[in-house]
A and B are shown apart, each in its own frame.
Chain A
């Protein structure tokens, strides 16, 4: 396909809470949780940060990284399951804040953790058909986990923005394929503050079935195999799932290593595997091939195949890399975390 990533930007709030700190509050065994989830800590938004502010920072980094003229962006689609407004698009605020208004179309996407990759696919179609020159696809979340629930150990905050276009690609999108079914593994009803999930049901019939079906489906259609790729990224609700699915599909631990950011970040939901892709692009070389598969509960997976171009070296240092964003965190205790997440009602 003659469409690809023209630029990208990521943003991670500076606060972190360690798994031990959460486990201490609920009388849980922290080592058992860390071993089970392969997550050590997760990011926490500041008091005045939400999905929109995180998305704007990521979007501005994407624009600055490749010196993009925001007026050329013809579409902004923001994927999230924590849009601040139930009705009033996050993307309108984001488009205004990056200077892309008014000559563009925007909308918000929701598909649990894969709304951001669905936004990439939408931008690909619009760019490929010539409807727009550049499209911005964002995955951003300040995800929620009920106090004491297993999700509380991983539900994190972060966002990633990709600018999709034809000219000046840093990574060509060779192909994409999606696999979707009605699988009620995770949901949040209108007006409810925290999601519900099917416990272990989210694993086999949810994550593993959809990720492996989409990944195998794309490789079959393209005639590629895991060894054709230098790197791979799979949705990261924890460290264990992507590691296991990679092995099931025939990818090595070396291939997924650069993009496996979840142990130090947590699950950024709509930003999750897009963050892994950003971390991989941060170290990729021209000619490298990257395989990525997202997963959104509900359920569906989007698989992508990328080839990195030599332009990556020109823009790489135009914005902070994921490693820089992960560095020097400020650790907080559970009380401060509860305040930051609005868990204390005044």
Chain B
């Protein structure tokens, strides 16, 4: 991820800020500038998601791309937020604990870094709801 690309998405990554269509009630994460349902009639505003959701499905990554190789094995899951939209994120928990339907909440973690002298990317991952964040 380049520095400008990260910087543009920073608020979305830190605080799960997406968008909400006031007309049809749709929620979008990552944020959409136009409502896919209402099109030009949509009224799109920024929306901060609460960060609570449920694991829809998951996999355990043992062989990762170079940037994530130090984290293996790690859990990658599709999480459906309570407000509606789904996103892909790591879930930080014991591997015996993860299951479909598991309630999770957002936590602030390092997403990666360019190198020892490069930028550090921070953002949102998920942890089990009953655990401390």
Contact = CB atoms under 8 A, between A and B. Distances in A.
Contact of A47 (B70, B122, B131): B70
B120 A48 contact: no
Interface string B117-133: 00010100100000111
Contacts of B107: 57
Contacts of A93: 14, 122
Interface in A302-320: 320
B133 A96 contact: no
A85 B15 contact: no
Interface string A34-62: 00000000000011111011001100100
Interface string A308-346: 000000000000100011000010000000000000001
Interface in A3-20: 11-12, 14
B108 A60 contact: yes
Interface in B38-71: 70-71
B70 A346 contact: yes
A46 to B, nearest CB: 7
Nearest to A330: B94
A99 interface: yes
A60 to B, nearest CB: 7
A320 B70 contact: no
Contacts of A53: 108-110, 122
B87 interface: no
Interface of B: 10-11, 14-15, 70-71, 92, 94, 107-111, 120, 122, 125, 131-133
Interface of A: 11-12, 14, 46-50, 52-53, 56-57, 60, 84-85, 93, 96-97, 99, 320, 324-325, 330, 346
